Amino acid sequence: MPTLTVNGKKVTVGQDAVILDAARAAGVQVPTLCQFDGLEPWGGCRLCVVDMWQQGWDADWFKMVTACNHPVADGMRVVTDSERVVETRRVVLDLLLARCPETPLIQRLAAEHGIAATSYEPNPTPTDCILCGLCTRVCDHIGVSAIASVNRGWGREIAPPFHEAPPDCIGCLACAEVCPTQCIPYSEGAGQRRIWDKDFEMLCDPVTGEAVITKAQAEHFARRSGVPQGYFATSDTSKRRVMAATFAKLKVVG
Ligand code: SF4
Ligand code: SF4
Ligand code: FES
């Protein structure tokens, strides 16, 4: 297993680890915006840049890489707070603040890096979307791909095809849940859910009556997993009750 240093602290991590894992193991915080545990890293926001040296290189030659997707190597040295790393993060946040001047997450991160106002021309139509790509990647990950990044420049955004209710969307809310700025709106109520201008019928637990999952989502999961659709419409409360009833019937032996 590779052993490396992060800001001088020695850590040993798994063979498949990336630098971000090593930093976390060392207790060193590296800011991220487009990383989400469980999703393939993308390396798009560039906020997680670090300096890195590895064996065989000149002793003072460091390369700047993104921590979320760069693999570790034995003997590697990682520096997360060098002058050029901090300056690069400042540029990233300065640009994001120009695009999203009213977004609390970006305002906070920018302030933490000493930026009170963007030095670039601000976006004439402020948005909360930082184009981190988490929503489209999670939608791809579940095998739906209902939304995508469209347009260019200030107008770049995440949208369904032709800005119409996406035919493939199953209303699972995964995109809204991973969005770091909570800028994907949805609503729920009266056995219905609405997201991306599309309405979904909710399936309710037959025992508790709780709305659990959209019908489209249950059908999607049942099709892909082979598990009967009814399983997905069972609430956690019902599952706990079934488990408790099963335990109550067990005979204690020995
Ligand atoms: S709610 Fe629709 S767009 Fe969002 S992740 Fe689920 S399927 Fe994709
Ligand atoms: S909508 Fe949210 S998750 Fe999707 S790219 Fe924009 S900020 Fe990221
Ligand atoms: S978190 Fe690493 S590039 Fe975005």
Global confidence as pTM: 0.91
Residues in contact with ligand 3 (CB, 6 Å cut-off) = 32-35, 43-48, 66, 68
> What's the confidence (pLDDT) of residue 96?
97
- pLDDT band of residue 254 (cuts 50, 70, 90) is low
Q: Pocket of ligand 2, candidates 33, 35, 100, 131: which has the most ligand atoms within 8 Å of its Cβ, to mutate? A: 131
Tens digit of each residue's pLDDT (9 = 90 or more) over 59-114: 999 999 999 999 999 999 999 999 999 999 999 999 999 999 999 999 999 999 99
Alpha carbon nearest to ligand 3 atom 3, residue: 43
For residue 171, the ligand closest to its alpha carbon is 1
Return the ligand 3 atom nearest residue 35 CA.
1
Ligand 3 centroid vs 87 CA: distance in angstroms? 16
Ligand 1 centroid vs 175 CA: distance in angstroms? 6
Task: Output the 3-class SS for the chain.
Answer: CCEEEECCEEEECCCCCEHHHHHHHCCCCCCCCCCCCCCCCCCCCCCCEEEEECCCCCCCCCEEEECCCCECCCCCEEECCCHHHHHHHHHHHHHHHHHCCCCHHHHHHHHHCCCCCCCCCCCCCCCCCCCCCHHHHHHHHCCCCCCEEECCHHHCEEECHHHCCCCCCCCCCHHHHHCCCCCCCEEEECCEEEECCEEEEEEECCCCCCEEEEHHHHHHHHHHHCCCHHHHCCCHHHHHHHHHHHHHHCCCCC
Which has more pLDDT, 185 or 252?
185
In CATH terms, 3-81 corresponds, of 3.10.20.740, 2.60.40.2550, 1.10.10.10, 3.40.50.620, to 3.10.20.740
Mean of per-residue pLDDT scores for the chain: 94
Domain layout of the chain by residue ranges: 3-81, 134-245
Residues in contact with ligand 1 (CB, 6 Å cut-off) = 138-139, 144, 146-147, 169-175, 195-196
Residues in contact with ligand 2 (CB, 6 Å cut-off) = 129-135, 158, 178-181, 183-184
Ligand 1 centroid vs 173 CA: distance in angstroms? 6
For residue 216, the ligand closest to its alpha carbon is 1
